[in-house]
Amino acid sequence: MMSMYSEKDWDRLKNFGYLEDLTYEAYFRGGEQHVEELVGADYILPYSVEEILEAGIASLSNKLIKLKTPHEVQQEIKQAMGNNKGYSLIRIGDGELLTLGHDILFSAEEIESIPRLNFLSYAGVNLPDHSIRDLLARNMMEADMVGIPFLRRPTFQQLFNKLAKVHKWPMKSMNLTRSVINYELHLQTTLFQDLLNNKRVLLIGNRMMEGETVLRNAGFNNIAGSIPVENINSVPHVLSEAQKYDFDVALVSAGIPANLICVELAKRNKIAIDFGHLIDELINNTKVIVK
C-alpha cells in the first residue's frame, strides 16, 4: 500500500499529528486510496471520488431501501389503535448494535477496552450477555417498526449493515425508519400530543417519574402512572408491574431494555414506543410538547 505514512507513522499521527495532516490522510484513505487499489497501477480513472460514488450509487439504485417517514409511522400507529391492535416501535442505536455484535463481529473484551464505548451499563446491559444479544436479534423481526441508524459511521449504519448480513435480515421487506424517529415524531407530527390528550399513557423508565410531573404540569392528565427500569434483568418485573395499570399506550425511555419492553407490550395489544432521550429533553425544558 502506497501512502505518505507508514503504519507506525499513521498510529503516531493519530495520537500526536497535526489536524491538517490527519484530515488529509483520512480523506485519502477513505476514498482515493480505494480507487487506486481497485483501478490498479497500470490504469487511471479520470474522475473524482465524488463522481465515482455518484455513478456507483446510480448503478445500485435498485438496492436502495426505503425508510418510513414520521408521517407514515404516525399513520401506522393510529391505524393500529383504530383496529385495537398492539404496535411496537423500537430504535436501534449504538448500544443495541454493540450488544448485537459482541462475540459475533468483535469480542466483549474489545468493547470494554475502548473507553468511549463504556456506556453499556448505563444503557442497561453488562457484556457478555449472549441471551440478550440473541433476543435483540429476534426482536428485529418481531417489532412492528424498527428505527435504524442513518449515519454511516463505524458503530452506526456500517455496523448495522454488517449485522444485517450476518443475520440475513430481509431488509427490503422489513418495516424500517430512522433511529431518531422519536425526535422526528415530536418535531414533524402531532402524534405525542394526540396520544397524551386522548389515550391513557403509561410512562416506563428511570426518569419517568420526573417526566410524569412535567407532563402533568403541561396539562396532560391522562397519565396512567410511571414505572422505573433498573436494568435488562428487571424487564420481567417491569412487565409484571405494567399489568397493574389501565393504559393504551406506553412511552418507554429505558435504554436497551426498552427494546424488550416495547415488543412484549405490543403482544398484549398495547401501543409501545421507544421514547428515548426525548424524556430528558422534556425534563430539562430543551423541548416541549404543547397541549
Using CA atoms, how far residue 254 sits from 129, 145, 164, 280, in Å, is 18, 18, 24, 11
Evaluate the CA torsion angle 237, 248, 206, 102 in order and state its sign. positive
pTM over 0.85: yes
CA distances 249 to 60, 77, 182, 228, Å, are 40, 10, 15, 16
pLDDT tens sequence across 51-94: 999 999 999 999 999 999 999 999 999 999 999 999 999 999 99
What is the torsion angle, in degrees rounded to the nearest 10, for the CA atoms of residue 250, residue 251, residue 255 and residue 260?
A: 20
> C-alpha grid cell for residue 194?
394526540
Please tell me the distance from the alpha carbon of residue 125 to that of residue 206, in angstroms, as a whole number.
Answer: 15
Each residue's pLDDT tens digit, 139-191: 999 999 999 999 988 889 999 999 999 999 999 999 999 999 999 999 999 99
Residue 222 pLDDT > 50, yes or no? yes
Q: What is the mean pLDDT of the chain?
A: 92
Could you read off the pLDDT of 83-133 as tens digits, one per residue?
Answer: 999 999 999 999 999 999 999 999 999 988 888 888 888 778 899 999 999
- Whether 20 has a pLDDT exceeding 50, the answer reads yes
pLDDT in tens, 263-283: 999 999 999 999 999 999 999
Residue 68 DSSP one-character state:
P
Which is nearest to 263 in space by CA: 140, 179, 176, 177? 140
The per-residue pLDDT for range 25-53, each reduced to its tens digit, is 776 778 888 999 999 999 999 998 889 99
Q: So what's the pLDDT on residue 1?
A: 45
Residue 122 CA from chain centroid, whole number: 16
d(CA 215, CA 120): 28
Q: Categorize the per-residue pLDDT at 4 as very low, low, confident or very high, splitting at 50, 70 and 90.
A: low
